[in-house]
Structure 1
Amino acid sequence: MTETIHGIIEHYGLLAVLLGCLAEGETVAMLGGFFAHQHVFAFWQTLLAVFAGAFLGDSAFFMMGRGFAQTKLVQRISRKPGFNRARQLVTAHPNIYVLSNRYIYGMRILGGIVAGLSGVATTRFLFLNAISAAVWSILFCGLGYLFGLGAEQIVGRALLHHERLLVAFAIGVIVMTAAFVIARALLRRERLRGNQTADADQIGAP
């Protein structure tokens, strides 16, 4: 069974990495870096796949906000917690917003659409998005590569196929758990900010 799974990763892994990085792809990017360390893919190929997925995904979300603002999907997303805060940030600091948005877990889709709804020029967004995607790719692929290096040091030899899969599973569990905790904290903070704003409005009302 492990041989079959490993064969799928070897043959279709880079395509899966690209597709996985179209949205929230931190886990996939780290897995790509890990398998690059294990020589399943070349590291430069992994970086290229992660970069392409990250860049194309955010660009698609931006275009969705720019060209399909009146669709039900965009309207539904605009009602999510954090939308108003994101719109304030992109209005006040557009360059910083585009460069840093992908690093806030749970905000990539929302953030790209907000940027599309704002006055950020398309060429400006694409240029800044390319820089952000490149740095993000190197960071998370590098973390996955280091994870593989550490695992190999612990085992004391090159990892076997089934051991690679176990380490990959561990990476997924760790990253997804951390992302869940961070997302809950951000949502709680956004709700608290909304409650404080509502209280302030009630106090100021005649």
Structure 2
Amino acid sequence: MEELFIAWLQEYGYVILFIWSTLEGELGLIMAGIMCHTGHMSIPIAILVAGFGGFVGDQVYFYIGRYNKQFIYKRLKTQRRKFAFAHLLLQRYGWPIIFVQRYLYGMRTVIPMSIGVTRYNAKTFAFINFISALVWAAITILLAYFFGEELLALVHIAKQHYYIAIPFVIIVGGGIYYYLHKVTQKVEKKMIG
């Protein structure tokens, strides 16, 4: 199974990277960086493919907000706080929020949709979004490329000691999720309050 997965990555790596980046894909970018490190991908092409994928994904979310306002308000009732928070961020910080939204936990899909709901200029959003996507892809892929040996060593250890790795990943992932959730709530309270 592992050989098949690696063969798919080697043969369809750029297609997988594009799709993964479109849907939200730091893990996909890290895998691309490791594949660049091992020589199975080209760094410039991986950055362009991932950047374009991230750009396309956020453009789709923006246009969902622009042309489906009623659907968003009806279907995403549970996300109302995040939409209100995204509007506050846009009002307070303007265009830089488009640039950094990829790094805001839990807000990556909400911010482009909420900006689409507003009268924000679509061309301006697209331009900032494109630059942001390229920077996001370059930073993540290059970091994974430079630390490729260490990341491969971690993967090797995790494969040999999966019985330790699985609980470790669950605990660390849960801790990171909890921490980011609390930080986001504190920022929301400061912005709203």
Question: Which TM-score band applies after superposition, normalised by the shorter structure?
Answer: 0.7 to 0.9
Counterpart for residue 147 of structure 2: 147
CA–CA separation in structure 2 for the residues paired with 1:174 and 1:52: 33
Counterpart for residue 20 of structure 2: 20
The superposition leaves residues 125-174 of structure 1 with CA deviations (integer Å, 9 ceiling, x where unpaired) of: 0011011111101101112112214457x79xxxxxx95x95xx9xxx99
Q: Is the alpha carbon distance of 1:177 and 1:121 closer, same or farther for their aligned partners in structure 2, counting shifts above 3 Å?
A: farther
CA–CA separation in structure 2 for the residues paired with 1:47 and 1:29: 9
For 1:20-99, list aligned pairs within 5 A.
20-71=20-71, 73=72, 75-77=74-76, 79-80=78-79, 81-99=81-99
Q: Is the alpha carbon distance of 1:113 and 1:151 closer, same or farther for their aligned partners in structure 2, counting shifts above 3 Å?
A: closer
Does the CA contact (< 8 Å) of 1:23 and 1:54 recur in 2? yes
CA–CA separation in structure 1 for the residues paired with 2:23 and 2:74: 19
- SS state at 1:54 partner: helix
The superposition leaves residues 70-94 of structure 1 with CA deviations (integer Å, 9 ceiling, x where unpaired) of: 11x5533354142211111112222
Q: Is the alpha carbon distance of 1:39 and 1:99 closer, same or farther for their aligned partners in structure 2, counting shifts above 3 Å?
A: same
Gaps of 5+ in 1: 156-161, 201-206
TM-score of the superposition, structure 1-length normalised?
0.75
Gaps of 5+ in 2: none
Counterpart for residue 204 of structure 1: none
Pairwise CA distance, 1:13: 1.5
Percent identity of equivalent pairs: 24
TM-score of the superposition, structure 2-length normalised?
0.80
Q: Which structure carries more helix by proportion?
A: 2
Amino acid at match of 1:188: K
* Aligned pairs, number: 187
Matched, 1:185 2:184: no
Q: Is the alpha carbon distance of 1:74 and 1:32 closer, same or farther for their aligned partners in structure 2, counting shifts above 3 Å?
A: farther
Structure with larger Rg:
1
CA–CA separation in structure 2 for the residues paired with 1:33 and 1:51: 13
CA–CA separation in structure 1 for the residues paired with 2:145 and 2:170: 18
Amino acid at match of 1:77: L
Counterpart for residue 138 of structure 1: 138
- Report the RMSD for the aligned CA atoms in angstroms: 3.5
Q: Is the alpha carbon distance of 1:134 and 1:119 closer, same or farther for their aligned partners in structure 2, counting shifts above 3 Å?
A: same
CA–CA separation in structure 2 for the residues paired with 1:147 and 1:74: 43
